[in-house]
């Protein structure tokens, strides 16, 4: 065919960072008007590859052709000129500007005020409204960004690209921050963009989404291109196997549980939110040693408050939290750690880790004061080092500078591994997991699920709170369903069907359990 | 009584306006994301450059020309000196607070030294000041006859007009032009500006230089009104006062103007009060602390509601997530 067949062609792209080869001789060809997915685990080099297409970094080796012409893309500005646009994982929006101001930034429509130029805000609003109409992306041009939810901000980012007349649209993990309903809406938008003739590149590790929208899919593993597959004729398990490099089982193998005596007992626990509303309303249940209790529910039904109250991040307003017969409701966080509570929080960036600390120091956060690591209030750097290296090895935490790596620079999956390593190594009788696999790829997910089961088998009581129903079903021995701050139903996992759980989650059924 | 009120307004305005133009400079710098404690030093260097030019020209010229040239030179002097702050903070990513403080110390030491050397070498006499004399004033006919408000148009220093014109232009640039839109975006999320293909560091450098230029006008104004000369006495903390004003103004120009007026009137009102009570003139020093006491009181009320630009004080790094 002619050279116009491929709108983007990357040949033999190699990019090295200190200590790591992020891309190793990767070649891909993308057709005009297709949805092309780039699939790989965290740290496989997907984002690096696309950063080079968008001009944020330049390849060490290899060539990039746009519309059949060789181009050197040395800046996002050059990429924009070539009508390439990118929506980053972390949005680049000015929080105190309106939607329209954000979209026109850098390419402002102007009008004259006497002899002086000025930004034509009214014109900008009209243009943005027209664009949003044309592509079915609902936004109000005069809304201020900080008042908008994540899905709307994402639409603003898409409009930014369209305003610059981008033809090639790159999305970096676009659905990581969206709710299931928002994901469905987003996938519709992507189809719409393709139907209007745009070429869409999706960086993702979610197989389901690829299956739903993508035409073709390139699979990367540790910086190398493994395969390019035609999505319609491949199964998700084929793609998963290629991505991880080995067979992935979607269910975690586990032996029958051996329940011991109750470790955690909640008695009529009540937690109020900032507005004084009972987010957790008189909740009572038990978790036994050797048991995984999964709490299922739709987001915002009191899960966060429940987990934070047990960990001590939030005050209890009524009822008791009893750990091995001792009331811990009024203990400080450290006292709870010492009493035996490990907590993997949902928000690893703000709660789980200090991002600007080294990996080693993050691993030490819950133990630095103990006699092994501190002598007369002076920290023992050597003991820190030994312990950090030990955990890194044992939990397979990958980073480019070992335990001295600044945590911020690590991939999401490895950051989560660090949190889990720190918490599980406390070997506490109770472990609370809050959304432990959020935003992680299939390989990392199954790894964490195995660790959850291993904790159970060690004899710990495990409380698993997750919005991901598959995760709950996969790991739990007992399932509790939370709805509007109440435990709506609690029963052995085997006795519940998915449909039933769904009905309890929506509050259609329930009320019979205490 | 009217006499006293007039005096309070006239003196209050002539102090508030230089503060205001300096605060606008600070707003430019901080809205672009560069912390600027160096206004004090910028106005000092501006006043030094302008005063030197005025004294030098006065040797061969009479009339109003040296006056206006001195302001032009103050703008240039303040701007060039501000380049150093921009260089340290932007190119070398120095801590912006430290750089600002260093600028102030450097300005004072440098200009004091140079004043003595220049007096000896150029003008052939010893001395640690450039003598300027106070600026001429004018009164607008008709308008000045309005009761109370007429004081605004009475005994006006020419620099007050210059400041108002510049302030209007600078407000227009900041809030209405593409450059202003980009500048304000740099202080909130520089990544978004970079992604839009605009050079963040260039915008910030320009903003810091503008803050130097505007501070230069302020310094020259103080030299022509309060002290009637240039000497180390110019470093009395007015730069810090204008920073307080821009913070109370929530980094926006019009409310900052209100804060400057308040400071100005507090100061002139205090002076009038001392005279009225017949207290010895040494009490004037007590009055000079009034704006600062006011600052402390206002801080209590404004600290909670005011929000500094989100990216203030952070050097821009492309890669940081």
Q: What is the pLDDT of residues A288-305, one digit of tens each?
A: 999 999 999 877 788 989
pLDDT, greater one: B288 or A380: A380
Please indicate if any CB of chain B lies within 8 Å of the CB of A92.
Answer: yes
DSSP string of A441-480? -HHHHHHHHHHHHHHHHHT-EEEEE-S-HHHHHHH-SEEE
Per the structure block, which two tokens stand in for B135? 């600026």
Residues present in chain B in total: 321
> Residue B142: its pLDDT value, please?
87
CA-CA distance, B126 to A354, in Å (whole number)?
60
Q: Can you say how many angstroms the Cα of residue A336 is from the centroid of all Cα atoms in its chain?
A: 28
Mapping DSSP to helix (H, G, I), strand (E, B) and coil, where does residue B80 land?
A: helix
Q: What is the pLDDT of residues A219-256, one digit of tens each?
A: 998 889 989 999 998 887 788 777 766 555 557 778 88
Position A4 scores a pLDDT of 52
* Contact status of B125 with chain A (Cβ, < 8 Å): no
Domain A2-244, second-level architecture = 3-Layer(aba) Sandwich (3.40)
Contact A183, A133 (CB under 8 A): no
| Dist. CA B155–CA B138, nearest whole Å | 5
- Helix pair angle (B178-188, B2-31), 10° resolution: 70
Strand partners of residue A292: A462
Three-state SS for A80-104 is HHCCEEEECCCCCCCCCCEHHHHHH
- pLDDT at residue A424 greater than cutoff 90: yes
* Alpha-carbon gap: B233 to the closest alpha carbon of chain A (Å): 40
First to last CA, chain A: 69
Q: In this model, does residue B115 exceed pLDDT 90?
A: yes
Q: Provide φ and ψ at A42, rounded to 5°.
A: -60, 130
At the fourth CATH level, the homologous superfamily of domain A249-340+428-514 is P-loop containing nucleotide triphosphate hydrolases (3.40.50.300)
Say whether residue B189 is in contact with chain A using an 8 A CB cutoff.
yes
Cβ–Cβ of B192/A92 closer than 8 Å? Answer: yes
B11 pLDDT higher than 60: yes
d(CA B29, CA B267): 27
Beta bridge partners of A465: A295, A434
Chain A environment of B189 (Cβ under 8 Å): 92-95
CB A348 within 8 A of CB A407: no
Q: Is A29 helix (H, G, I), strand (E, B) or coil?
A: strand
Where are the alpha helices (H) located in B122-199, listed in sequence order?
158-176, 178-188, 190-195
Choose the weakest-confidence range: A180-184, B11-15, B67-71, B135-139.
A180-184
**Distance between CA atoms of A286 and A292, rounded to whole angstroms?**
11
Whole-number Å distance between alpha carbons of A346 and A416: 10
Q: What is the pLDDT of residue B93?
A: 93
Comparison of pLDDT for A355 and A40, the residue scoring more = A355
Of B256 and A301, the structure prediction assigns the larger pLDDT to: B256
Q: How confident is the model at residue B148 (pLDDT cuts 50, 70, 90)?
A: confident
CA B184 to chain A, closest CA, distance in angstroms equals 9
Residue with the bigger pLDDT between B4 and B48: it is: B48
CA distances from A306 to A270, A438, A507, B107 (A): 9, 18, 18, 58
Cβ of A92 within 8 Å of Cβ of B178? The answer is no
B174 min Cα distance to partner chain A (Å)? 10
Write down the pLDDT at residue A513: 41
Which residue of A88, A90, A105 is in closest CB contact with B196?
A: A105
pLDDT band at B321 (very low <50, low <70, confident <90, very high): very low
The pLDDT, as a whole number, for residue A411 is 82
Q: Are B174 and B31 in contact (CB under 8 A)?
A: yes
A497–chain B Cβ distance below 8 A for any pair:
no
In the predicted model, what is the mean pLDDT of chain A? 89
Give phi and psi for A364, each to the nearest 5. Answer: -90, -10
Do residues A397 and A444 make contact, with C-beta atoms less than 8 angstroms apart?
no
**What number of other Cβ atoms are within 10 A of residue B299's Cβ?**
13
Banded model confidence at residue B295, pLDDT cuts 50, 70, 90: confident
Query: HSE on the CB side for A292, CA within 13 Å?
Result: 30
A137 vs A154: CA distance, rounded Å = 10
B-chain residue closest to A109, CA distance: B178
Which residue from B181, B188, B320 is facing A108, i.e. has the nearest CB? B181
Q: Do A117 and B178 touch (CB under 8 A)?
A: yes
How far from chain centre, in Å, is Cα A122? 38
Give the C-alpha separation, A193 to A63, whole Å.
Answer: 27
Pairing of strands A6-17, A292-296: unpaired
Number of Cβ within 10 Å of residue A282's Cβ equals 16
- In this prediction the ipTM stands at 0.88
Q: In chain A, which segments carry CATH 3.40.50.300?
A: 2-244, 249-340+428-514
**Tokens standing for A287?**
């978790």
In this structure, how many other beta carbons lie within 10 angstroms of the beta carbon of residue B215? 39
Mean residue pLDDT of chain B comes to 91
Report the residue of A56, A73, A94 to disrupt the B interface, i.e. the one with the largest count of B CBs within 10 Å: A94
* Structural contact between residues A36 and A202, judged by C-beta atoms closer than 8 angstroms: yes
Candidates A166, A176, A151; CA nearest to A86 is A166
Nearest to A239 by CA among A250, A251, A253, A252: A250
Q: Provide the pLDDT confidence category of residue A19 given band limits of 50, 70 and 90.
A: low
Distance of alpha carbon A482 from alpha carbon A465, whole angstroms: 10
User: CB of A433 within 8 A of CB of A257?
Assistant: no
User: What is the rounded CA–CA span in Å between residue A39 and residue A84?
Assistant: 20
Least confident of A180-184, B155-159, B180-184: A180-184
User: In degrees rounded to 5, what are phi and psi of residue A57?
Assistant: -135, 160
What does the pLDDT read at residue A129? 96
């Amino acid at each position: 065919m002619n050279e116009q067949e491929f709108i983007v062609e990357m040949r033999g792209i190699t990019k090295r960072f200190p200590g790591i080869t992020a891309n190793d001789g990767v070649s891909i060809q993308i057709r005009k008007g297709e949805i092309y997915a780039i699939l790989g685990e965290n740290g496989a080099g997907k984002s690096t590859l696309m950063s080079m297409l968008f001009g944020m970094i330049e390849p060490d080796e290899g060539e990039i052709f746009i519309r059949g012409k060789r181009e050197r893309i040395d800046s996002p500005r050059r990429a924009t000129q070539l009508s390439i646009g990118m929506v980053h994982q972390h949005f680049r929006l000015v929080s105190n500007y309106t939607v329209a101001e954000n979209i026109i930034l850098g390419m402002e429509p102007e009008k004259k005020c006497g002899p002086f130029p000025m930004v034509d805000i009214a014109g900008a609003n009209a243009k943005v409204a027209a664009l949003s109409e044309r592509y079915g992306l609902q936004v109000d041009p005069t809304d201020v960004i900080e008042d908008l939810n994540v899905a709307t901000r994402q639409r603003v980012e898409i409009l930014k690209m369209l305003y610059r007349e981008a033809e090639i649209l790159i999305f970096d993990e676009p659905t990581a921050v969206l709710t299931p309903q928002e994901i469905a809406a987003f996938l519709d938008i992507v189809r719409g963009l393709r139907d209007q003739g745009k070429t869409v590149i999706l960086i993702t590790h979610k197989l389901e989404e690829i299956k739903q929208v993508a035409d073709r899919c390139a699979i990367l593993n540790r910086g190398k291109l493994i395969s390019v597959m035609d999505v319609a004729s491949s199964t998700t398990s084929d793609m998963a196997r290629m991505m991880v490099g080995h067979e992935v089982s979607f269910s975690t193998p586990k032996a029958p549980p051996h329940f011991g005596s109750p470790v955690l007992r909640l008695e009529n626990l009540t937690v109020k939110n900032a507005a004084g509303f009972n987010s957790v309303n008189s909740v009572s249940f038990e978790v036994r040693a050797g048991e995984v209790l999964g709490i299922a529910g739709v987001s915002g039904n009191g899960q966060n408050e429940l987990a934070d109250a047990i960990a001590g991040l939030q005050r209890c307003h009524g009822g008791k939290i009893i750990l091995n017969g001792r009331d811990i409701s009024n203990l400080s966080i450290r006292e709870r750690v010492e009493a035996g509570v490990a907590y993997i929080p949902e928000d690893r960036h703000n709660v789980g880790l200090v991002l600007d600390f080294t990996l080693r120091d993050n691993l030490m956060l819950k133990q630095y004061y103990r006699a092994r690591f501190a002598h007369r209030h002076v920290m023992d750097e050597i003991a820190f080092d030994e312990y950090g290296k030990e955990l890194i090895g044992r939990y397979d935490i990958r980073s480019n500078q070992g335990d001295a790596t600044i945590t911020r620079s690590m991939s999401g999956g490895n950051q989560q591994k660090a949190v889990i390593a720190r918490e599980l190594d406390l070997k506490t009788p109770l472990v609370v997991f809050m959304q432990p696999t959020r935003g992680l790829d299939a390989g990392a997910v199954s790894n964490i699920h195995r660790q959850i089961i291993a904790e159970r088998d060690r004899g710990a009581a495990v409380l698993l709170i997750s919005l991901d129903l598959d995760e709950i079903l996969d790991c739990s021995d007992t399932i509790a369903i939370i709805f509007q701050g109440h435990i709506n139903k609690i029963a052995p996992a085997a006795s519940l069907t998915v449909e039933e759980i769904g009905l309890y989650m929506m509050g259609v059924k329930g009320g019979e359990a205490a | 009584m009217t006499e006293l009120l007039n005096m309070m307004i006239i003196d209050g305005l002539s102090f508030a306006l230089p503060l205001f133009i300096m605060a606008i400079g600070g707003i430019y710098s901080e809205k672009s994301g560069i912390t600027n404690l160096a206004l004090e030093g910028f106005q000092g260097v501006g006043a030094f450059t302008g005063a030197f030019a005025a004294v030098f020209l006065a040797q061969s010229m009479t009339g109003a020309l040296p006056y206006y040239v001195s302001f032009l030179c103050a703008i240039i002097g303040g701007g060039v000196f501000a380049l150093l702050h921009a260089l340290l903070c932007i190119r070398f990513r120095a801590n912006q607070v430290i750089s600002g403080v260093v600028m102030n110390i450097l300005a004072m030491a440098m200009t004091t030294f140079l004043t003595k050397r220049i007096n000896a070498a150029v003008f052939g006499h010893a001395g640690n000041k450039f003598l300027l004399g106070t600026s001429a004033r004018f009164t607008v006919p008709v308008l000045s006859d309005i009761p109370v408000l007429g004081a605004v148009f009475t005994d006006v220093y020419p620099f007050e007009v210059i400041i108002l014109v510049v302030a209007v232009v600078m407000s227009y640039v900041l809030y209405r032009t593409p450059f202003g839109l980009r500048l304000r975006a740099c202080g909130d999320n520089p990544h978004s500006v970079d992604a839009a293909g605009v050079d963040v560091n260039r915008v910030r450098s320009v903003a810091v230089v503008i803050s130097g230029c505007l501070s230069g006008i302020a310094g020259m104004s103080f030299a022509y009104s309060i002290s009637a000369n240039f000497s180390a006495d110019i470093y009395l903390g007015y730069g810090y006062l204008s920073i307080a004003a821009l913070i109370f103004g929530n980094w926006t120009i019009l409310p900052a103007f209100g804060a400057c007026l308040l400071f100005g009137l507090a100061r002139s009102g205090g002076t009038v009060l001392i005279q009225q009570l017949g207290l010895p003139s040494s009490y004037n020093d007590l009055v000079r602390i009034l704006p600062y006491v006011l600052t402390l009181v206002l801080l209590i009320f404004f600290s909670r509601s005011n929000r500094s630009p989100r990216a203030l004080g952070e050097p821009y790094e492309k890669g940081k997530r």
